């Protein structure tokens, strides 16, 4: 029997990387090497239960990364800007992993990238996009075979950051700065399946930036879907302006306001839902995701 191809997964204890680990485990051609900074943490313990190789690693530690990548076929990299809110640090972390991939002779790197927003007309800088665009450029420059998975807002944000606000018994208001433009959405678990499709045929996707999403909806449509599945709860979209959102009292509000403005400007073709469904036909619509996550949503809305 041919030996399995090892894929090193960064962010394995998190949303995107965790999805990649689960999807790789469903494919008998691949073996997972999951990376975490904390081998004693709950995330690492959960991964060990899946009988996955778990190794300690930190994208800030350039030297340590070489050993982690040695002998591997592929790598999935997601960098986490929100860990430190420092664009230059995120760029350096991405470069460290890209350099280590090159030195280790990795056959294909899938990077969770995003585009540059500078010059787009967005009302201000969106550092967590711009840093990832710089990492994409660097990977290209050093000649590592790669694909960028440019994704979009997780449906799971409706359980936390986009959670509708209760205004009366069974009445909820969703307030985001999207006007009546389309918001592109995805179930974060689908990232795993998209990445596996890419790693199954790296030559097909080599050098490409894939614009991935499971759905595109106005927030009125989002509210209609939530109201349909979560009866008797009813949801209404009440837009907020980019300027007012930027003033909200939480860290990063200003940058997220600019991100929503960028989403608005790109709403006609931010992501390619039809292509995404061709890549992985079981990619979930928002409607299907809500249906499958009713209990979690009801719990979060309490
Ligand atoms: P997450 O669930 O918060 O998990 C973060 C992961 O990154 C953890 O597994 C953590 O591992 C790992 N990590 C953080 N710093 C690390 C370091 N220095 N070295 C090694 N591992 C490190 O994050 P996520 O949602 O999967 O990904 C976050 C990224 O997704 C952000 O950069 C954001 O821009 C992007 N994104 C988010 C959305 C959205 O809607 N939320 C949409 C598109 C893109 P340990 O703690 O175990 O070490």
171-174 sheet: strands from edge to edge: 165-168, 171-174, 234-237
Are 240 and 220 within 8 A, CB to CB?
A: no
132 vs 266: CA distance, rounded Å: 18
Q: Parse the chain into domains and list their residue ranges.
A: 5-152+188-212+269-283
Provide mean pLDDT across the span 31-57: 97
pLDDT confidence tier of residue 164, bands split at 50, 70 and 90: very high
Q: For 84, phi and psi rounded to 5 degrees?
A: -140, -10
Q: What is the pLDDT of residue 56?
A: 98
Quick: pLDDT tens for 47-100: 999 989 999 999 999 999 999 999 999 999 999 999 999 999 999 999 999 999
Q: What is the pLDDT of residue 2?
A: 74
Task: Specify the 3-state DSSP secondary structure of 91.
Answer: helix
Q: What is the pLDDT of residue 251?
A: 87
- Among 78, 135, 185, 215, residue to substitute to test ligand 1 (most atoms within 8 Å of Cβ): 78
State the sign of the Cα–Cα–Cα–Cα dihedral 252, 253, 259, 262: negative
Task: Specify the 3-state DSSP secondary structure of 53.
Answer: strand
Query: How much is the mean pLDDT over the chain?
Result: 97
Q: Is 80 a pocket residue for ligand 1 (Cβ < 6 Å)?
A: yes
| Residue whose tokens read 């509708």 | 164
Q: Is 147 a pocket residue for ligand 1 (Cβ < 6 Å)?
A: no
CATH superfamily of 5-152+188-212+269-283: NAD(P)-binding Rossmann-like Domain (3.40.50.720)
Quick: pLDDT tens for 118-147: 999 999 999 999 999 999 999 999 999 999
pLDDT confidence tier of residue 302, bands split at 50, 70 and 90: confident
Tell me whether the omega of the peptide bond preceding residue 232 falls within 30 degrees of 0, making it cis.
Answer: yes
- Among 11, 15, 84, residue to substitute to test ligand 1 (most atoms within 8 Å of Cβ): 11
């Amino acid at each position: 029997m041919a030996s399995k191809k090892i894929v090193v997964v960064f962010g394995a204890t998190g949303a995107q990387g965790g999805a990649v680990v689960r999807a790789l485990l469903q494919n008998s051609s691949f073996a997972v090497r999951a990376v975490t900074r904390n081998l004693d943490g709950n995330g690492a313990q959960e991964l060990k239960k899946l009988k996955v190789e778990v190794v300690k690693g930190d994208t800030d530690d350039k030297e340590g990364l070489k050993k982690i990548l040695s002998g591997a076929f592929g790598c999935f990299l997601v960098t986490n800007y929100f860990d430190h809110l420092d664009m230059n640090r995120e760029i350096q972390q991405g470069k460290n992993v890209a350099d280590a991939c090159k030195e280790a002779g990795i056959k294909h790197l899938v990077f969770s990238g995003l585009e540059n927003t500078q010059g787009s007309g967005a009302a201000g800088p969106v550092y967590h996009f711009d840093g990832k665009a710089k990492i994409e450029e660097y990977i290209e420059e050093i000649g590592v075979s790669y694909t960028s998975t440019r994704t979009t807002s997780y449906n799971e944000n409706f359980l936390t950051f986009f959670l509708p606000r209760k205004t009366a018994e069974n009445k909820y208001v969703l307030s985001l700065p999207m006007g009546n433009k389309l918001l592109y959405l995805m179930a974060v678990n689908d990232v795993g399946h998209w990445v596996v499709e890419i790693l199954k045929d790296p030559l097909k996707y080599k050098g490409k930036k894939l614009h991935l999403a499971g759905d595109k909806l106005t927030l009125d449509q989002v509210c209609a879907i939530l109201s349909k599945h979560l009866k008797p709860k009813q949801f209404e979209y009440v837009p907020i302006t980019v300027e007012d959102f930027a003033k909200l009292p939480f860290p990063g509000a200003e940058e997220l306001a600019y991100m929503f403005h960028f989403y608005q400007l790109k709403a006609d073709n931010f992501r390619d839902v039809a292509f995404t469904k061709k890549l992985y036909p079981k990619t979930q619509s928002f409607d299907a995701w809500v249906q499958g996550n009713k209990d979690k949503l009801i719990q979060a809305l309490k």
